[in-house]
Amino acid sequence: MIIKVDNKINKKTQMLCVFLVEETKQLLQLKKYNINSDPSVNQSLGDIGGKLGKLGLIPTPKNNQFDRVLLAGLGKKDEITRDTIRFVTGKIAQKARELKLKEFSIIVPPTSINEPGSAVSQIVEGAKMSLYKFDTFKKEKATESPKLTIIIPESEEIKKTARTAEIIAEGAIFTKNIANLPPNECTPNTLANIAKTIAKKNKMKYTVISKQELKKRGFGGITAVGQGSKNEPKLIILEHMHGPKNEKPIVLVGKAVTFDTGGISLKPGEKMDEMKFDKCGGCTVLGIMKAVSELKIPLNIVGIVPSVENMPGGESYRPGDIIKLYNGKTAEILNTDAEGRLILADALSYGEKQYSPKAIIDFATLTGACIIALGTNVAGLVSNNKQLTEKLNESSERTTEEIWQLPLNQDYMDMIKSDVADMKNIGIGRAAGTITAAAFLKNAIEKTPWAHLDIAGVAWTQIATKEKTYNPKGATGFGVRLVLDYLQNL
């Protein structure tokens, strides 16, 4: 999708799109566009009424400069959120595709509704992400996306804002595209090759540690989980070092189980196909690293992706096993389906030891318990650092990728103590499953500020997922916009 910013309306645009706010003098809003002279306009305005998400094509006078005008409702002024324009723009873009248009224009609403930069970002993200369709394996492909012109008083700052939003949206789409890949097409080796391509294109340092080296260097969690599959485990590392030479980096870690059967503790067959999405945390890190490089963010940022396939087999790890993790601590295995915390623990320890970072953020589709606790529209957050939590919450508010902090005190740490090892890989029964998983991860962190995002409920669209035009069915790319905002505001 080609997006440009212009300070005037193209007289030959195929569709001019105007946002309307409920309970305002809408005819006055339209008068300057010379589209209020047709008698049917009043009827169209009455039908739409500025109601949230309502669209209406209205006729234009024969001497009008536009082929058609689309009115789009934003809802009541005092109920407009940071997500409203993004959501409604998605509806507009999908309508443009339905009409098979080659291009369309959107007028940025008044600053009384939204700051111009924020509105432009929402328009760009809503348009690009809503037109995404995973059709890699379909014979019939989606029609080409129409071009978009954003009408706003032009400035270098606005142009930069639009381009930044475009890169961020492309990062989220990149994440969705990898996450949507089926398990027969996306193994740990596939992810390693994707990361290598990103690194080569964007001149980042790329490292991959494979099976024998993982075992030799003491990555006991990654080795154990990956040993049941013929598709060997990988630890993938990307380095974007564009900050001061001696500045400590931010480390991003993402769980990438390319398919999770549960291993010996086999999952039920129902919805097991959705376990292709168990790699979403790692895909999020890859999408962020791609965007970080393209945005040339002047920071040192490291992306680490532990990737495995969790399969039952003659060499699979078992309930009852005791394994030694990268940091030297031992873990008693009580359930092989609690595998994500094992590979993350290795990666977190490695990231802290290797890079002495100023902060670590991890992303993981870690627990079904998080869906029970928070549903499918809010991610769980567990952290050991108040300042890091506050910064992530601020970014959550700006991007509307919602997170909610859960506690982690000594009582939860005690719930994963083992009689025969330093810890066990599940807690006591079903109690506090999301937090006890995070407690396991906290054992991998010595002193670094750390935030864990459990994205099990939000990484792909599920039964109770709220409709968002910019999140078509499948992977959502959750976390990309959130963390890029956090990094840009450091």
List, by residue number, the catalytic residues: 267, 341
**Which residue's entry shows tokens 């001019």?**
16
d(CA 57, CA 59): 7
Question: How big is the CA angle at 181 (ends 175 and 182), to the nearest 5 degrees?
Answer: 150
Q: Which amino acid, 247? A: E
Could you tell me which residues come within 8 angstroms of residue 237 by beta carbon, excluding any fewer than 6 positions away?
205, 206, 207, 208, 209, 302, 303, 304, 305
DSSP readout, 341-396?
HHHHHHHHHHHHHHH--SEEEEEE---HHHHHHHTTS-EEEEES-HHHHHHHHHHH
Is residue 322 within 8 A of residue 333, CB to CB? The reply is yes
Its sign, for the CA torsion 213, 215, 221, 225, is positive
Q: End-to-end alpha-carbon separation of the chain, Å?
A: 30
d(CA 51, CA 30): 16
Quick check: helix, strand or coil at residue 449? coil
Question: How big is the CA angle at 85 (ends 93 and 127), to the nearest 5 degrees?
Answer: 25
Query: Which residue stretches of 137-182 are H helix?
Result: 156-179
Strand 16-22, strand 103-107: pairing: parallel
Q: Which amino acid, 248? A: K
